Amino acid sequence: MADEPLKPVTAEPPRPPIDPFADRSLSDSDRDRLYAEIAIEADELERRSRLLRKVTALVTPTVVHIDTKKPSSLDREGEASEDESGSGVITRVADQAVVLTNRHVIHGAELDAIRIRLDDGREYRPTRVWTDPSTDIGVMALPANRLQTARVAEDDRLEIGDTVLAVGSPFGLAHSVTLGIVSAKGRRDLDLGEGNVRFQDFIQTDAAINPGNSGGPLVNLRGEVVGLNTAIASNSGGSEGIGFAIPVSMVMFVAEQLVENGNVSRAYLGVTLDRRFSQRTADRLALVRPMGARVSGVTRNGPAETAGIRIDDVILEYNGVPVEDDDHLVSLVSTTPAGRTVALRVYRERRSETIQVAVGVREAFEQ
C-alpha cells in the first residue's frame, strides 16, 4: 500500500488585535488580554512621565512669581497704579544668585513696588535691578540665602523638534508647567511691546505660554534652562501655540555684563547691510541665490573698513557660524564681547576669503 502523501502542517493564524470599539461586550479573557497589551504600551509613556516629573522637581524650586505696581496715567482721584505679574528664574551669574526675568515685567516699578515670591513661600523685594532694553532682559539681586538655583545649558544645541517645558505663573497661577517642542529658531523680526527690542534671536515653541509666563524659564529634558519666555503671538490674548523665548546664550551674555559692569557693552562691526538682498543682486554678484549678509555700506574708520571689508562683500560666516541673513549677523555681533578678533568668511568677486576683524565697542560709534 503506497504511503499517503504528508499533509502540510499549518500554524494557527495569529489572533487579530482587539478593537475595543467594535464590540463592547468583551469576554473576560479578551479584557484580560487587552489590559496586558495596554500595560506594555503604557510602560513606555510612564517612563517619559517619570522623566518629566524629575525635571519639574528640579526646576520649580528655582522659579519665582513676580508682582509689580507701576505708575500709570492719572485718573480723577489723582495718582493711579497698574498691577503687573510675571515670572523669573534663580540662577548664578558672576558668582552670585540672582533672578533673571524680562525687563518689561519690572520696568517702571520702584524697588519697593516689586515683590518676589519664592517656591517655598518666602517673599522679598529686590535690593538691586539691572535691565537691558535692547534685549528685554532684566536681572534682580535678592537679600536671601538658601536659594536653589537653576542649571543653565552650556551651549546652543537646541534643535527644532526638541521637547521643552515652560514654567511660570500664567494668569497668576504660580509654578504652572506646560510641555511642547521647539517649533522654530532664529525669529528676529518681531514687533514687541514698545518696539525697542533691537537684538532678537527668539526660540519659537508651542508649549503653552500665557500672560504671566513672561520671564520664566524654558527648559530642556535635562532640566537645563535653554531660554527665557518672553512673548506670545495671539489674536485672543491667550496661548495659541506660538510662544517666544530668548536663547539662554543671549540671556547670560547680557546678565553677566549687567551684574559685573552695570551695563552691556556690545561689539561693533561697522557695516550697513542690504535688507532687500534680492535674486537680481545675487545674479549680479554671480551667486546662485541670496545668502549670508550683503554689505551695502562701510562705516568710515570703523573695524570693518580697517580690516578691508568692501561694499558688495557678502559675509557668509561669522566666527565659524554660517550667516543666514542680515538680522542673523546683527544678532551674532550683538553677543560678541567688544574688542575680540573674529573671522569673517567673505564672498568677493566670485571667490571666498577669510578676513580677521577686531570688532570695536558699539558705544564708541553709536549715540
The whole-number pLDDT of residue 194 equals 64
The pLDDT of residue 173 is 84
Summarize pLDDT for 230-279 with one digit per residue, the tens.
987 766 666 677 899 999 999 999 999 999 999 999 999 999 999 999 99
Instruction: Find out whether 91 and 233 touch, Cβ atoms under 8 Å.
Output: no
For 26-48, what is each residue's pLDDT tens digit? 888 988 999 999 998 888 888 88
Q: Report the pLDDT value the prediction gives residue 54, as an integer from 0 to 100.
A: 95
The pLDDT value given to residue 261: 93
104 flagged as catalytic:
yes
pLDDT(319) > 80: yes
Out of 65, 85, 132, 136, the active site residue is 136
The span from the CA of 118 to the CA of 149, in Å, is 12
pLDDT in tens, 344-365: 999 999 999 999 999 999 888 8
| CATH for 46-71+80-263, options being 1.10.3720.10, 2.40.10.120, 3.40.50.10300, 3.20.20.450 | 2.40.10.120
Q: What topology is assigned to 267-365 in CATH?
A: Pdz3 Domain (2.30.42)
Residue 365's pLDDT is 86
H helices of 171-321, where?
248-261, 279-284, 303-307
pLDDT at 220: 97
Half-sphere exposure of 110 (CA within 13 A, CB side): 5
Question: Which whole-number Å values give the CA distances from 181 to 54, 62, 102, 156, 220, in the listed order?
Answer: 18, 22, 22, 15, 10
Task: Report the run of H or E that residue 84 belongs to, with start and end.
Answer: strand 78-93
At residue 10, the pLDDT reads: 57
Q: What angle do CA 176, 86, 63 make, to 5 degrees?
A: 50
Alpha carbon of residue 312 to chain centroid = 33
Would you place residue 2 in the very low, low, confident or very high pLDDT band (cuts 50, 70, 90)? low
Q: Residue 65 catalytic?
A: no
Residue 24: is its pLDDT beyond 90? Answer: no
The pLDDT value given to residue 237 = 67
User: pLDDT tens digits for 284-312?
Assistant: 999 999 999 999 999 999 999 999 999 99
Determine whether 45 is exposed, middle or buried from the number of CB atoms within 10 Å of its CB (0-12, 13-18, 19+). exposed
pLDDT, mean over the chain: 89
User: Per residue in 64-94, pLDDT tens?
Assistant: 999 999 887 554 455 556 788 999 999 999 8
Beta-carbon count within 10 A of 294 CB? 26
Percent with pLDDT over 70 in the chain:
88
User: Residue 152's CB: how many other CB atoms inside 10 A?
Assistant: 20
| pLDDT for 105 beyond 70 | yes
CA distance 362 to 190: 23
Residue 18 to residue 37: CA distance in whole angstroms: 10
Of 65, 104, 132, 326, catalytic: 104
Element (H, E) at 258: helix 248-261
Per-residue pLDDT, 175: 84
How many Å apart are CA 93 and CA 258, to the nearest integer? 10
- Whether the predicted pLDDT of 190 surpasses 60: yes
Would you kindly state where each structural domain of the chain is located, as residue ranges? Answer: 46-71+80-263, 267-365
**Is 327 known to be catalytic?**
no
The amino acid present at 240, given as its one-letter code, is E
Per-residue pLDDT tens digits for 148-187: 999 999 877 899 999 999 999 888 888 899 999 999 999 9
Out of 85, 87, 214, 249, the active site residue is: 214
Q: Which three cell numbers stand for residue 113?
A: 513696588
Strand partners of residue 243: 205, 232
Give the pLDDT score at 12. 60
